[in-house]
């Protein structure tokens, strides 16, 4: 069974019994006849390959998108954890009874915030600055900086490149030691 039709400059000839399709593109005319370029495509062997091609393309595109989403989520979680640790840690330090209990409160708050945000395997550091004065003196400013190293699980270390597969997120907060505290 054959079907032919002319669509302007494009002539299509279908051979449904053999699964062939001939396409002729008319490119011009010379001395009363048209020149044509022919391509013959055999569609009989393509059964079921479209779903495999879609699956391969979907996996090839979906895996990097999921990896990027997870990595971005971990960095955002580290940002939230560092912010909470810095703000609440400096408040707890300024209200603590001693410098040692203030450092313990900061460590406990930072550890709790990092664990709550799902970053228990992340390394973290704290830096406490008392602006050149005693940390326990009334009215002094205390600054706390919290840094969290977020490991990038889906970005492998490449040989010959000295880039660590981690991102450091830092946040800081400042509070004033109470001037009206009873126990100072």
The pTM of this model reads 0.64
> What is the tens place of the pLDDT at every residue in 104-119?
999 999 999 999 999 8
Question: What is the number of domains present in the chain?
Answer: 2
pLDDT of amino acid 84: 95
In a domain, 96, yes or no: yes
More confident residue, 55 or 28: 55
Do 83 and 111 lie in a common domain? yes
**H-run or E-run covering 184:** none
Check pLDDT > 50 for residue 131: yes
Do 9 and 68 lie in a common domain? no
Question: Domain residues for 103?
Answer: 49-176
CA distance 126 to 99: 14
Give all strands of the β-sheet with 141-151 in edge-to-edge order.
123-129, 141-151, 166-176
Tokens 């109470």, located at residue = 178
> What is the tens place of the pLDDT at every residue in 158-180?
677 666 678 899 999 999 887 77
More confident residue, 41 or 129: 129
Do 101 and 162 lie in a common domain? yes
In a domain, 182, yes or no: no
Contacts of 67 (CB under 8 A, 6+ apart): 154
Do 76 and 141 lie in a common domain? yes
């Amino acid at each position: 069974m054959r079907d032919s039709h002319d669509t302007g400059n494009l002539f299509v000839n279908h051979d449904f019994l053999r699964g062939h399709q001939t396409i002729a593109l008319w490119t011009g005319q010379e001395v009363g006849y048209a020149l044509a370029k022919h391509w013959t495509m055999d569609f009989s062997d393509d059964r079921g390959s479209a779903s495999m091609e879609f699956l391969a393309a979907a996996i090839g595109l979906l895996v990097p998108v999921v990896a990027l989403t997870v990595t971005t989520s971990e960095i955002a979680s580290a940002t939230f954890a560092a912010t909470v640790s810095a703000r609440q840690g400096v408040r707890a330090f300024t209200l603590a009874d001693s410098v040692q209990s203030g450092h313990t409160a900061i460590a406990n708050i930072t550890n709790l915030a990092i664990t709550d945000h799902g970053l228990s395997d992340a390394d973290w550091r704290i830096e406490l600055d008392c602006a050149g004065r005693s940390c326990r003196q009334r009215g002094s400013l205390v600054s706390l900086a919290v840094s969290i190293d977020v490991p990038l699980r889906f970005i492998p270390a490449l040989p010959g490149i000295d880039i660590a597969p981690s991102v450091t997120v830092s946040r800081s907060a400042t509070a004033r030691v109470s001037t009206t505290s009873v126990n100072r």
